[in-house]
Amino acid sequence: NDNRQDDSLDRIFKNNQADASEDKKKKFKDQILEISNSSNLKFNNQQIQLQGVETLVESIRLEYEEFIETTKLENESYNKSQKEEFDLLRNKFMQYKQEQNQKQRDSYWEFQSLLYSMQSQFEEYRATSEFMFNSEIAKMEDELTSLTLRYEQEILYIAQAKDRFYSDMMVTKDAKIMNLVEGSDLKEVIKHHELEIENIRREHACEIERIKSEQENEQSNIIALLQRQNSALESKCEKLSTHIKSQDDKLKDMLSIINQKNKIIIDKEDEKDRIELNLQKQLTSAMNKIYTLTQDCEYLRNKIIRLSLSAKGEGGNSIKNILKRITRETDKLSNDFDKVSSNYSTILNDYETFLEKEVKRRTDEFDSMSKTFEDFITQRARQLRLERSDRLMRMLQQQRQNNESENYTNLERSRKDIIHKQGTIKTVIPSTSSSNKTFVNQIDNSQERIELERGFERFKTLSKAFRNGEMMPTTTKNYSFTQETGPWTKTELYNRIIKPVNVHVPKIYDPNEQSSKDNISKIINNNLDDWYNSNNSDVIKASLYKPLDIQETTSFIKLYEKNNRKS
């Protein structure tokens, strides 16, 4: 029973809870419906307001677009007029500025020419004074050298006279001694001899005194001359110094005048700058006034245009107004299209004629270049064939000589093996013609193929350059064409960096070569071009040919010094 009561109570409690929850649900549903209805009403009101605002915005936008178009046209016309006025003012200002700068430059150049003329005059004066001084000094040196030479000659004359007198005296003395020995009186001879010696001494003393007096007179005369010349030179130097001082004073005066004029010019420039600043300020104020007035004019003009459009009925976007505008614009577009088409046709015709002429010119140039290149290739091939034939003949002759010498030695060594028992000799004749011919033909074919491939590569590069238009006409000579002699040097049309093709390499023989067998083996094993390139190395060329700049030039001074040392 208790359990049943508990179950019934639980059921009653649960039913009560369910009823309460259902009541709450109904309340919440009612609240939700009220909220949704109010939100829908608000949303509808907002949508209606939005539509009204959109219509207002569209009407305002249309009016604003019309206003923008009219203002654009007015602004463009106004900007053009303002630009023209500004350009006029700027041109006037630049002209005034250029005139002032030109005046300043002219004055500067005048003062500079004055300075240069004064400097040149001073340099001339200095050069003349130096020249006069140097000429006088040279004269004095010549006179002194002549006097020294005279003194030396006189001294030599005195010494020679003394030696001659002494030799004469000794001769007479010996003669007298011989006379005494032969049988004369010694006392009388000695007395006579002493008298002669005293007479000679007196004569010699008189001559020495006479020479001394003459030399003293000459020296006094020379000293007087030198003193006179020195006094004359001193007077000239004083005159020149006074002249230099006067010129320095003039220079100082001129520099002071130039400084004063420079100060005046600087003051004038400052005044010009002040005037320019005042003019600039006036210009800015005038431009500001013009800007305010133009804004007022624009406003009034826009107002007049609006009133006129509203009075005529052309301001709105009606179908009639739109059709009128479209017809006007179509007429303008048709006229513009006709003009553009006519200009396009004329330009096209001119361009076609220009291209035809250019194509003809390039084809003619290409034909001439191809002809000259073909002549060049043929002539080079002929020259190389002749050189190759000569070179191969030499190599074959050397090879035959070597083969003959080797065969001769081998025959002597193997004579016992070759001789038959009955006395007959077994011989085998080799076919030299077939082997040599095949070898020569192989070399000829390989060289011809190499030359043709090189010529073809060069021709391809030239044709590619002509096709791409990379060849530029120049007046300078091309290095690859001018180094060879032939008909290809007649037309030097273009200068372009092309792939280097070694058409011809001159032979420079190594002086240290001793054997020809090594060279022949090198030629047979390797290619001819490699052999040429190896023989044409810079080391061999430097050993054979020394440039002029490196050669030692012996000077005459060194030779003179060597001769003096030897002597």
DSSP 57-120: HHHHHHHHHHHHHHHHHHHHHHHHHHHHHHHHHHHHHHHHHHHHHHHHHHHHHHHHHHHHHHHH
3-class SS of residue 425:
strand
C-alpha dist (Å) from residue 51 to 6, 54, 199: 67, 5, 165
> What's the N-to-C CA distance of the chain in angstroms?
168
Asked if 252 and 374 sit in the same domain, the reply is no
Residue 471 burial (C-beta neighbours within 10 Å; 0-12, 13-18, 19+): buried
> Which pLDDT value is given to residue 180?
64
User: Residue 267 and residue 278: Cα distance in Å, rounded?
Assistant: 17
Half-sphere exposure of 98 (CA within 13 A, CB side): 6
- Same domain membership, residue 305 and residue 391: no
With a threshold of 0.85, does the pTM exceed it?
A: no
- Three-state SS for 217? helix
The closest of 229, 208, 93 to 159, measured between CA atoms, is 208
Structural domain contains residue 331: no
Asked if residue 251 and residue 139 are part of one domain, the reply reads yes
Number of domains in the chain: 2
Q: Are residues 379 and 306 in the same domain?
A: no
Between CA 145 and CA 139 the distance in angstroms is: 10
pLDDT of residue 314: 58
Q: What are residue 426's phi and psi, to 5 degrees?
A: -85, 125
Q: Are residues 305 and 367 in the same domain?
A: no
Contact call for residues 423 and 504 (beta carbons, < 8 A): no
φ and ψ at residue 34, rounded to 5 degrees: -60, -45
**Is residue 174 a part of any domain in this protein?**
yes
296 and 386, same domain (yes or no): no
Q: What per-residue confidence (pLDDT) applies to 2?
A: 54
Read off the tokens for 28: 């919440």
Neighbouring residues of 487: CB distance < 8 A, sequence distance ≥ 6: 372, 375, 376, 379
Residue 317's nearest CA partner among 77, 64, 54, 71 is 64
| Same domain membership, residue 390 and residue 261 | no
List of the chain residues with pLDDT < 70: 1-9, 176, 179-189, 306-322, 406-448, 462-463, 465-567
Do 286 and 368 lie in one domain? The reply is no
Q: Kindly state whether residue 92 falls inside one of the protein's structural domains.
A: yes
Phi, psi (deg, nearest 5) at residue 130: -65, -40
Helix axes 432-468 and 528-535, enclosed angle (nearest 10) = 80
Q: Any idea which residue has 């602004």 for tokens? A: 75
Q: How many helices (H) and strands (E) does the chain have?
A: 10, 0
Cβ proximity of 398 and 520 under 8 Å: yes
Q: Side-chain half-sphere of 93: how many Cα atoms within 13 Å?
A: 15
Q: Would you say residue 400 lies in a domain?
A: yes
Find all residues with CB under 8 Å of 523, minimum gap 6, and list them. Answer: 395, 531
The token pair at 353 is 């004629």
| Residue 467 token pair | 């096709």
User: Which of 247, 280, 310 represents a domain boundary (last residue)?
Assistant: 310
Q: Are residues 277 and 181 in the same domain?
A: yes
Question: Is the domain of 415 the same as that of 291?
Answer: no
CA distance 565 to 559: 10
What is the SS3 assignment for 476?
Answer: coil
What range defines the domain where residue 184 resides? 42-188+235-310
C-alpha angle 147/148/150, rounded to 5°? 65
- Measured CA to CA, the distance from residue 16 to residue 467 in angstroms comes to 105
Residue 336 forms part of a structural domain: no
pLDDT at position 442 = 53
Question: What's the pLDDT at 540?
Answer: 43
The contacts found for 94-99 with CB under 8 angstroms, 24 or more apart, are: 97/276
**pLDDT for res 275:** 87
DSSP state of 488: G
State the pLDDT at residue 308.
66
Residue 104: count other Cβ atoms within 10 Å of its Cβ: 14
Asked if residue 170 belongs to a domain, the reply is yes
* 50 shares its domain with 158: yes
Give 257-260 contacts, CB < 8 A, sequence gap 24+. 258/111, 258/114, 258/115
Cα gap 442→524, rounded to integer Å = 11
Our CA angle for 533, 539, 540, nearest 5°, is 70
The dihedrals phi and psi of 232, each to the nearest 5 degrees, come to: -65, -45
Are both 150 and 266 inside the same structural domain? yes
Q: Does residue 28 lie in a domain region?
A: no
Q: How far is CA 432 from CA 16, 404, 435, 436, in A?
A: 137, 12, 6, 6
Structural domain contains residue 144: yes
SS3 538: helix
d(CA 480, CA 368): 18
Per-residue confidence (pLDDT) for residue 104, from 0 to 100: 79
